[in-house]
Chain A
Amino acid sequence: MDRETRDMLLETAGRFFSERSGKDVVNGVEKGVWPADLWKEIEEMGLPLIAVPEAQEGVGGTLADLLALLRVAGEHAVPVPLAETTLANLLVAASGGKPASGPSTLALVGSDLSLQGNRLSGKVMRVPFASVADRFVSVVGVGGKSTLVVVARDEASVEETPSHAGEPYGTVVFDNTPVEFSAASAVSADRALELAALMRTMQMAGAADKVLATAVEYCKQRVQFGRPISNFQAIQHMLAELASCVAATIASAESASRDADEGGLEEGGSFSIAAAKTQCSDFAHRIAALSHQSMGAMGFTHEHILHHYTRRLWVWRRDFGSEAFWGEKIGQAFAKAGRDAMWPALTESRYAA
């Protein structure tokens, strides 16, 4: 979509999330209340189909549009699988399928998945929204070919293991489970994982942004020793450092999104995504530490919203590969290529070879 349309959509979505995905909704999900109305309205707005071509009854946006939407969703801690569903729908559509309505999720990490005929076996841990999604989407690699599979939730067994942000994550076991849909996948299993990691970086960018704004606002209003604590240099420098960590998170996520979008769904921005997920995950700790320190006991309560964001940052940094996972991939490639390959690779945002 053109720049103007996208900006309009993002603004509308941002306003909608502020109004309809507030504190109570986020806390409700943690207590096990599925916000059915919120999801219904998200579907009515067409958001899950943002990157599905118009010919397949989608909104017709690009991967970049999808990612920009997820940054806004991250800024509001939207507690439903919007990210997972938009990417799942994109992958299904790109592989010739028709995205179904309802929430979907991605069963990608730890995939020792195997496909025999039309039946899927294997176990995937830490699947986001496993117990509330209608279906699981995965990509299974068999003998150099990749197959996209869709499995109805009720066909698989889900062990609930809520994330530390209180979202309904779970371990999903497929045991000779019939698949609802399968097709030659538009992307490899490794690529699906990259795209999922990229999606998390943009959510992290949104959350980081919100953390900074929250801490800055708080420090300007909180009065101690007769003046707002933002007047103290110690606080100012802490928030400036927080801003630098947030800036790195945003810049890396946006760069990876640009590279992925420009380079195409199959392989665009492969290195940039790894570097961005490493960077975002790496700095999540500092962002949480500095923001909490600046807000004292108030920010440590369940009552305050800060934890909606800091806890998600702690969870998202592990989702679809942590800084250790992606960092190792980068380190391995650069070690193999040797020192002189480093600088040329960096200037081209690609793995050293």
Chain B
Amino acid sequence: MSIPKLEFPPFHLPDEAEALRGEVRAFLKETLPGIQTEDRFASWNTPSPEFSRALGAKGWLGITWPKQYGGSERTFLDRYVVTEELLGNSAPAGSHWVADRQSGPLLLKFGSEQQRQAILPRITRGECYFSIGMSEPDSGSDLASVRTRAEPVPGGFRVNGTKVWTSGAHRNHYCITLVRTSGQHGDRHKGLSQLLVDLKTPGVTIRPIINLAGRHDWNEVTFSDAFIPEDCLIGNEGDGWLQVTSELAFERSGPERFMQNVYVLRELIRVLGRQPAKRANAIVGRLIARLWTLRQMSTAVAGMMQGGKSPAIEASLVKDLGTIYEQDLPEIARTLAESDATTEDDLADFLDIAQYATMMAPSYTIQGGTTQVLRGIVARGLGLR
């Protein structure tokens, strides 16, 4: 007996991608100072339609998609570089994030020609934003248990049910919604389908769910006899589970899984001054080494994916390690700043930053697949289940 060997073949991003990095940096340097956002340090969940449109104008949204749908036909690795530069420079990527990252690719893969032509060019212009309609009050990690029902009626579906944790539904245009189109609740993976739902549809009600940090990102989206036209079915009726799992696999190992709060590390370096104590340097050095390692792992997975492999376990490991790093970071940084910040003012300012980061930290190991779900995937890969 032997277990599959974990491999992370070191991978260099190609020269074209590195050249693109320079362009993206120059663009961000010029554009970001003029963008106002609700967050002091923006990230992939901070919305800014203005910024998304500017990014779209550069051709960097839907960057890998065919030109006929407004894409730039560049590589997956070019996209990787754009993504990590947005995160590394705290750009407000929240408006377009889901559309560019998973909804667009889903439509490209499974959507009808009409859906692609109607939607994808708008996404690439930074004008069309998406929410994800998967979770329900009784379906979180156990997604196959969804109850929202789409009943076939002449010309389409009548939808009833409730989706929750629907980020950005109050400001986005569409929600790709996982529904049961046939069979019963107990049928699990069978009878599920995905619908392209216009969030302005009559019968669709959006109510805020405020998170513990007082932010309104989430919503509850209720369907009461909402009529969804039949041309809004994505892919084949009954293929919803297959499509959803393919959607979840999109870049589990991307830089958004370890760089969401990179501003904490940057600001920590600021408040410790130019000549920290030995011990403080060692602690910062360890944080930097962890971040560097995660980036090496993430680019290695990107390289394997570009080479046509599907390194599922390795990708899950990156998310597991990356989100735990993000969760550790505010706490390590806070305790270090308490003892080693150079001035009282710097400390007070940093504690504000760390407080916010601390409040957000629990979400990192929950969203997009909890740590425990990921570890289940890894355990299966190790042959333990």
Contact = CB atoms under 8 A, between A and B. Distances in A.
Interface of A: 209, 212-213, 216-217, 219-220, 230-231, 233, 235-237, 239-241, 243-248, 250-252, 254-255, 257-259, 272, 274-276, 278-279, 282, 323-332, 334-336, 338-340, 342-343, 346-347, 349
A275 B293 CA distance: 8
23 contacts: A209-B6, A230-B384, A231-B384, A235-B384, A236-B376, A239-B384, A240-B374, A245-B321, A247-B6, A250-B8, A251-B8, A252-B293, A257-B10, A259-B10, A274-B285, A278-B285, A327-B285, A331-B280, A331-B281, A335-B273, A339-B267, A343-B88, A343-B89
Q: What interface size band does chain B fall in?
A: 35 or more
Given A236-B379, A236-B384, A334 B21 contact: no
A335 B2 contact: no
A230 B288 CA distance: 34
Nearest to B375: A240
A278 B281 CA distance: 12
B284 A334 contact: yes
Interface string B315-345: 0010011000000000000000000000000
Given A282-B289, A327-B289, A250 B6 contact: yes
Contact of A209 (B5, B262, B265): B5
A248 B317 CA distance: 9
B10 A255 contact: yes
B88 A244 contact: no
Given A212-B3, A243-B317, A247-B321, 6 more contacts: A240-B379, A251-B297, A252-B292, A259-B10, A328-B278, A332-B281
Nearest to B2: A213
Contacts of A328: 278, 281-282, 285
B384 A219 contact: yes
Given A254-B8, A342-B269, A244 B320 contact: yes
A120 B7 CA distance: 44
B369 interface: no
Contacts of A278: 285-286, 289
Looking at chain A's contact residues, the main secondary structure is helix
B269 A339 contact: yes
B197 interface: no
Contacts of B296: 251-252, 255
Contacts of B274: 335-336, 338
B275 A335 contact: yes
Nearest to A228: B384
Contacts of B285: 274, 278, 323, 326-332, 334
A342 B314 contact: no
B370 to A, nearest CB: 11
Given A331-B283, A346-B291, A236 B269 contact: no
Nearest to A217: B1
A279 B288 CA distance: 9
